[in-house]
Amino acid sequence: MSFVCWLDGYDPAQRARLGGKNASLGEMLAAGLPVPPGFAVTVDAYHTVRGHPEVRQAVVGLLGEVDLADPAALEELSAAIRRRIEQVPLDDGVAAAVASAYTELCERCQLDAVPVAVRSSATSEDLPDASFAGEHDTYLWVRGADEVLAHLTRCWSSLFTARAIAYRRERGYDHDVVAMSVGIQKMVRPTASGVAFTLNPRDGDRSQVAVEAAWGFGEGIVSGEVTPDSFLVDKVLGEIVQRIISDKAVEYRLGDGDRVERVEVDEARRTVPSLTDDQVKAVARLARRAERHYRCPQDVEWALDADLPGDQAVTLLQARPETVWSRKAARPVAAAGDPMASIVATLLSPLHTRGSSDTPGP
Amino acid sequence: MADRFPSPFEIQTPAGAEGWQELYTYSLPFSTDRREYEDSMFWFQDGVHWPEVLSPWDATFFEFALASLSQYNTRHYLIPPALGVDFRVLNGYAYLSPVGVADPAEIEARVPQFLERAGFYFQNWASLYEQWMGKIRSLIGEMEALSFEPLPDAEDLAVVTEGRGMGSGFELQRQYHRLVDLALQLWQYHFEFLNLGYAAYLDFFGFCKQAFPSIPDLAIAKMVAGVEVDLFQPDEELKKLARLAVASRVDGAFDQPSAAAVMEGLRASEDGRAWLSQWEASAQPWFNFSAGSGFYHTDEVWLEHLEIPFGFVRDYIAKLREGVDISRPIEAIRAERDRIVAEYGELLATDEDRAAFEQKLGLARVVFPYVENHNFYVEHWSHSVLWRKMRQLGGVLAKEGFFGGETDIFLLKRDEVPEALWDYYSAWAVGVKPRGPAYWGRELERRRGILTALRSWSPPPALGRPPEVVTEPFTIMLWGITGESVKQWLGAGDAGGDGILRGFAASPGVAEGPARVIFSADQIGEIQAGEILVAPLTAPSWAPIFGKIGATVTDVGGMMAHAAIVCREYGLPAVTGTAFGTKTIKTGQRIRVDGNQGTVTILES
């Protein structure tokens, strides 16, 4: 039994012990996708707590008494169970393994008290619909081994949020149908970040990668507050075929106390491209690798990590399938057939021969 | 912004150029006889092939080329929507207007004939192309056999004793007529395949644009382009000679600045003479290579201007001495082309598309060697021979006092040359003095004045009312003219003022550097390493300088401009067809060339 598993040593056979989120991070690393380094605290660690008599008793006892139709009562129940989980003493073996892995992560990143994300990664092999994506807790900017351990137990206890309890009850699932692995992953302090699509969102062209980028954290882009710089990269030639640099008036960056704050961008930097051409190409290559790995168009979140050397700074935060164009049924453009008929058609119909003709002008 | 260009009938004759119309075939100038038709058409100046004023004889190839192009569309293959490309000269400059088939029923009626005729060529392309190679070589052989000699004081005795019954004067005139016939035949051959080749290429092009709406044009060009192309061979021969010079240690001869001194140095040693015999072997045919488009008698040909190829050899020798590998990485180029094809193929949505992609690419590659190679055989090799022969004839007339020098013959229309030869011959026959020296002496003086006045005039890029969209396939392919470029020309007077020129993204990459604006091959020597070449257009024979410059900007041409092909080959960013590059950019200005987006930005003035 091991309590800790490094993400870059991921073994698919271990999937059930790491949960979906960690497993997917492990897969990405194995595929050469540069996600931030980290390790998983396996479900074995969770079971040391879940199996603790006090916790067991709390779950069985309390659940029996509560009227789940009463929201206030449900909240109270959830809080009680979560308190119990967070308060039982942590297994020595778990504490030692996690603290030592955290120390190693600090060494790998060459940073003291490296800030990490502590992320729930629920296992639910048998119940694909019972993992409650986003329902479980994630803690950002956690620093130091003690804090990591404290947030680890909070992640575990998030299996018993009011909604999770209600959901399982509704479906008639046992409360042990889901277990919790936790991912401990380096936080990225981005100089710039953004999104990338492995197709041209304007016309669905699969030969292009669209990259959007702005200074600092991606919040501004996601909320629409910042008009990002926009690039189009040809996948095959690897060249930037379109470049629109925007006026980026605000950025989100890390302030004192690891708080993300909104600041005005200095006049001098506002209309400067937030990525160099080489960085744009690196983001596009990363998105393309993700697409090849998942075998379908991807919608990718990425960041340039200020802690990493320039040529390795592009980091993948998240990749998910692109949905808008991918849902459309693939329709063939033209059939192989009589080449002469096709040539006649070409001569007869107006040609759209200029690639840039439909790109927005200045 | 104006919605139309000036009518040809609104254009004034520049002062001092009055009577310029008489310098050309009567059907070439715009005239009130056809005003209604001519005013209804859209005309553009063909700066790709004829950027400068045409001297009277040089208009010959312009007329032959356009009539031959048109003839194949209209009469041979019956291209359903396209007749020929009409052509005019205005104030000495070449203007063109593609003529479409207006009636849909007629287009429909042309389809079956096109299918049968063009279909035959596509099906038998390889054997017809092989046959073409034979035809063109034998045609060039006939051109080479032409010879123009001064008429003798007395005919050879053999003319009498063999009972030939005709003399040198007759032969001289016949040789000239033969030259004109061979030139027209050459242009017939030129267009035997070209339009069909472009049609197949366009079909693949259109497919790629539909499958990948944002695919760069140059990606398509790269998939089709050949790896070993005759147009690159002259450059390859120079590299071979540079290597030989270094290996046989005669490279020191190239330290001399003048071509004559280099020759002298080489002749002085056994190894030097061996090098020269290798030079001779390469020179025929490969150095029949024009430093211009090949359409002007003033274009310098390597074979006759040794300082050009010797200068390139000198540059290559310098690189070899530095240990630089100057060879073309053929295998890498081939592998890259295969990679690009495979990756776009993979990105297609369906297997059906992949089958169509392969079929169309296959046909495009069958036809493309002609598209890529014909230029060397026609504009370079054949024209070099024809210009040489014409100068020889000019020399004969100059010797007789008709002209001040051999190139004065190009101030005559092609149909005036027989008159001059008649004058020369008949006076020789009678045994008196011809009128020519006095007549042409006066007339050529007048013509020189007219041409000088025309050269100081700046031709508008187009005339008449432009179409809403340019759809004529050959206009786009051959001249790089699109609805966008027309709009840009119309807007040029409005002075956009953003310091950005737009053109075709002809070769990928981005480069910054000081500009070097040059207008002709004579100025090639001015170019310094790392500069960005800005020129009206570049000739394929400038290839060796592409190893030295940072990027290229041209006024005219599209994706398939011969220079665009060479730039892609050399991996240099290029923006072609900017229309105003040489007018806007000054030597020394720092500019940024974005070959991915087709923009040129002036960074500092």
Confidence of residue A108 (pLDDT cuts 50, 70, 90): very high
Confidence at residue A352, expressed as pLDDT on a 0 to 100 scale: 44
Q: Is the pLDDT of residue B317 over 80?
A: yes
Confidence at residue B184, expressed as pLDDT on a 0 to 100 scale: 98
Q: Which residue has the tokens 């009518």?
A: B7
ipTM of the complex: 0.76
Q: Is the pLDDT of residue A360 over 60?
A: no
Q: Is the pLDDT of residue A331 over 80?
A: no
State which amino acid sits at residue B234.
P
Residue numbers of B between 501 and 560 with CB closer than 8 Å to A: 504-505, 508-510
Which of B95, B100, B42, B41 is CA-nearest to residue B66?
B95
Residues of chain A with Cβ-Cβ distance to B498 below 8 Å are 362
Residue numbers of B between 161 and 200 with CB closer than 8 Å to A: 199-200
When pLDDT is averaged across residues B498-526 and rounded to a whole number, the result is: 83
**CA distance to partner chain B, nearest, from residue A314 (Å):** 22
Q: How far apart are the first and last CA of chain A?
A: 62
Tokens of A20: 């979906």
Confidence at residue B355, expressed as pLDDT on a 0 to 100 scale: 93
Confidence at residue B497, expressed as pLDDT on a 0 to 100 scale: 56
State which amino acid sits at residue A145.
A
Confidence of residue A362 (pLDDT cuts 50, 70, 90): very low
When pLDDT is averaged across residues B445-466 and rounded to a whole number, the result is: 93
Q: Cα–Cα distance between B241 and B313 in angstroms, integer?
A: 7
Q: Among A208, A209, A232, A344, which would you mutate to test the B interface (most chain B Cβ atoms within 10 Å of its Cβ)? A: A344
Q: How do residues B10-27 score in pLDDT, each as one tens digit? A: 999 999 999 999 999 999
**CA distance to partner chain A, nearest, from residue B3 (Å):** 19
**CA distance to partner chain B, nearest, from residue A312 (Å):** 23
DSSP strands (E only) in B287-399: none
Strand B43-45 relative to strand B93-100: parallel, antiparallel, unpaired? antiparallel
Burial class (CB in 10 A: 0-12, 13-18, 19+), A205: buried
Contact of A353 with chain B, judged by CB distance below 8 Å, is answered with yes
Q: Which residues of B151-178 are buried (b: 16+ CB within 10 A; e: fewer)?
A: beeeeeeebeeeeeeebbbebbbebbeb
pTM: 0.80
A108-122, B51-65, B100-114, B495-509: which has the minimum mean pLDDT?
A: B495-509
Q: What is the DSSP letter of B17?
A: -
Local structure of B552: helix, strand or coil: strand
**CA distance to partner chain B, nearest, from residue A131 (Å):** 33
Confidence at residue B558, expressed as pLDDT on a 0 to 100 scale: 67
Work out the angle between the directed axes of helices B417-430 and B436-455 (0-180°, nearest 10).
160
Q: Cα–Cα distance between B257 and B5 in angstroms, integer?
A: 49
The answer to whether the Cβ–Cβ distance between B483 and A357 falls below 8 Å is yes
Q: Among A202, A281, A325, A333, which would you mutate to test the B interface (most chain B Cβ atoms within 10 Å of its Cβ)? A: A333
Q: Is the pLDDT of residue B162 over 90?
A: yes
Q: Return mean pLDDT, chain B.
A: 91
Q: List alpha helices for A197-276, DSSP H.
A: 219-223, 267-270
Q: Is the pLDDT of residue B563 over 90?
A: no
When pLDDT is averaged across residues B96-120 and rounded to a whole number, the result is: 93
A132-141, B5-14, B317-326, B551-560: which has the minimum mean pLDDT?
A: A132-141
Strand A240-244 relative to strand A250-254: parallel, antiparallel, unpaired? unpaired
Q: Is the pLDDT of residue A284 over 60?
A: yes
Q: Is the pLDDT of residue B204 over 80?
A: yes
**CA distance to partner chain B, nearest, from residue A297 (Å):** 10
Q: Is the pLDDT of residue B465 over 70?
A: yes
The answer to whether the Cβ–Cβ distance between B509 and A208 falls below 8 Å is no
When pLDDT is averaged across residues B458-475 and rounded to a whole number, the result is: 81
B140-149, B190-199, B271-280, B408-417: which has the minimum mean pLDDT?
A: B190-199
Cβ neighbours, 10 Å, residue A56: 13
Q: Is the pLDDT of residue A177 over 80?
A: no
What is each CA distance from B178 to A66, B145, B148, B172, B395, in whole angstroms? 110, 11, 12, 10, 18
Q: What is the DSSP letter of B154?
A: S
Q: How do residues B179-193 score in pLDDT, each as one tens digit? A: 999 999 999 999 999
Which of A143, A46, A116, A57 is CA-nearest to residue A86?
A46
Q: Among B123, B196, B212, which would you mutate to test the A interface (most chain A Cβ atoms within 10 Å of its Cβ)? A: B212
Confidence at residue A259, expressed as pLDDT on a 0 to 100 scale: 84
pLDDT top residue among A118 and B1: A118
- Annotate B398-451 with DSSP letters as a single string: HHTTS-SSGGGGGGS-TTTHHHHHHHHHHHHHHTS--SHHHHHHHHHHHHHHHH
Q: Return mean pLDDT, chain A.
A: 86
Confidence of residue A361 (pLDDT cuts 50, 70, 90): very low
Q: How do residues A92-107 score in pLDDT, each as one tens digit? A: 999 999 999 999 999 9
CB-closest option in B82, B111, B210 to A333:
B210
Contact of A360 with chain B, judged by CB distance below 8 Å, is answered with no
Q: Cα–Cα distance between A121 and A124 in angstroms, integer?
A: 10
Confidence at residue A134, expressed as pLDDT on a 0 to 100 scale: 52
Confidence at residue A353, expressed as pLDDT on a 0 to 100 scale: 38
Q: How do residues B318-374 score in pLDDT, each as one tens digit? A: 999 999 998 888 888 889 999 999 999 999 988 999 999 999 999 999 998 898 899
Q: How do residues A312-330 score in pLDDT, each as one tens digit? A: 899 999 888 887 777 777 7
3-state SS, B359-373, equals HHHHHHHHHHHHHHH
